[in-house]
Amino acid sequence: MMAAGTAAEAGGEVLLLEKNSALGKKLLITGKGRCNLTNACEIEEVIDRFGSGGKFLYSALHVFPPSAVWQFFADRGLELVVERGRRVFPASGNSADVVKVFKDYLAQQGVIVKLNSPVEEIIIQGEEARHIAGVKLANGNFLSADAVILASGGASYPGTGSTGDGYLMAAKLGHTLQPLYPALVPLKTKEEWVKGAAGLSLRNVRARLLDGEEVLGSEFGEMLITHFGVSGPIILTLSRFVAPRVQQGKPLRLEIDLKPALDDERLDDRLRRDFQEYARKSLKNALKSLLPKALIPVVIALCNLAPERPVHQITREQRHQLLRVLKGLPLTITGTLPLSAAIVTQGGVSLNEVDPRTMASRLVRGLFFGGEVIDLAADTGGFNLQAAFATGYVAGRHAVAATAAKALH
């Protein structure tokens, strides 16, 4: 929608082909239906959040940074608010308001929107200097075009229409696809105890993801225990490291620091105070003020202690073992939920084959890319939508410039 509107505003004659019966189905569910539009941070932080591929966005973000996204919506009457983590949302808390802004924008710019019009194939001409001829729809109709912007999304949340079609179209034109993995996705664990603690939300904890002794990532915040493993904001952020390694047969280790505000010495002092206070009680009852009820039997079992053991019989070494588990509750990560359950798709059209200044294909003249179909994925916080808007904006402008140049020739 950003690409189409921008292209029309730049003077192009634009047709937006949408496979769904309505525009913006995926936007409607982002941010739990509230639509985390962008992040009120500097360009450099957005780039950092995309890891090794972030530098690709340098040019697009300078043209259309987070401040420009804010301005785009504010200029069209949508009030925005900044929340925790500098996440930007519509003040109404309703993603439908974001979709309405886009629909109005498209209408004002004269974009023709065709719903229920899935594209089957991008058609090109020429042998050596290959260039766009148009598109073939699923119903067999051919539509000629001087330029095509492929902004079909990834392969996550297929119910919204992003079923990976764009990857197939790009590959058919000769583009290299980086392997597709689920990102921002819940993780599965080997341990069975999670089933008994399913639904437990842990706040202000720190999770570390390790491959052997290598720390892949560390995040502080909120997480959720589920019947299959773990989820929640900090887990989703760490998940982008998981799928590629697990597919190589590497089980990863997750360590949860349940008391990150206390170092070992202060936590040990806290344990000793609690044990003095509950000296006549069993261990399972003495931990009630320190741990959620569902985690007490888990922690005790990991320490190989008896729940009914009187606290005054706990040795110094057993207390230290409790401390070690509290500072690093271990879980074995065996995999992720499938791509269909992921918020974002990691992988896609190789960055080496897309011009970062224009979003133009380096292989086919008149072909442009925008959004998640490119090999870009960040963690949560509005960064993925920021990249979608920036790449769509740049693709829209340059697609029109390319058609104008073709007309001159």
Distance, in Å, from the CA atom of 49 to the CA atom of 332, rounded to the nearest integer, reads 25
What is the secondary structure of 39-68 as a DSSP string?
Answer: ESS-HHHHHHHTGGGGGGGHHHHHHS-HHH
Q: Given this model, what pLDDT does residue 405 score? A: 66
pTM of the model: 0.88
* Sequence-ordered list of residues with C-beta below 8 angstroms from that of 408, at least 6 positions apart, any chain: none
- Contacts of residue 12, Cβ cutoff 8 Å, sequence gap at least 6: 147, 396, 399, 400, 403
Q: What CA–CA distances, in Å, run from 105 to 30, 66, 79, 334, 398? A: 20, 19, 16, 45, 19
State the pLDDT at residue 74. Answer: 97
**Alpha-carbon span 316 to 87, nearest angstrom:** 45
Ranges in the chain annotated CATH 1.10.8.50:
186-336
Write the CATH number of the domain with boundaries 2-182+342-408: 3.50.50.60
The pLDDT score that the predictor gives to residue 250 is 79
CB 8 within 8 A of CB 109: yes
Tell me: domain 186-336, CATH 1.10.8.50, correct? Answer: yes
Q: Using the 8-state DSSP alphabet, how is residue 260 labeled?
A: T
CATH 3.50.50.60 maps onto the chain at 2-182+342-408
> What span, in angstroms and rounded, lies between the C-alpha atoms of 336 and 73?
35
Per-residue pLDDT of the chain (409 residues; tens, 9 = 90+): 999 999 999 999 999 999 999 999 999 999 889 999 999 999 999 999 999 999 999 999 999 999 999 999 999 999 999 999 999 999 999 999 999 999 999 999 999 999 999 999 999 999 878 999 999 999 999 999 999 999 999 988 788 888 899 999 999 999 999 999 998 999 999 999 999 999 999 999 999 999 999 999 999 999 999 999 999 999 999 998 898 888 888 789 999 999 999 999 999 999 999 999 998 899 999 999 999 999 999 999 999 999 999 999 999 999 999 999 999 999 999 999 998 889 899 999 999 999 999 999 999 999 999 999 999 999 889 999 999 999 999 999 999 998 876 665 5
What DSSP letter does each residue of 368-405 carry, written as one string? Answer: EE-GGGBS----SSSHHHHHHHHHHHHHHHHHHHHHHH
Please give the Cα distance from 318 to 320 (Å, whole number): 5
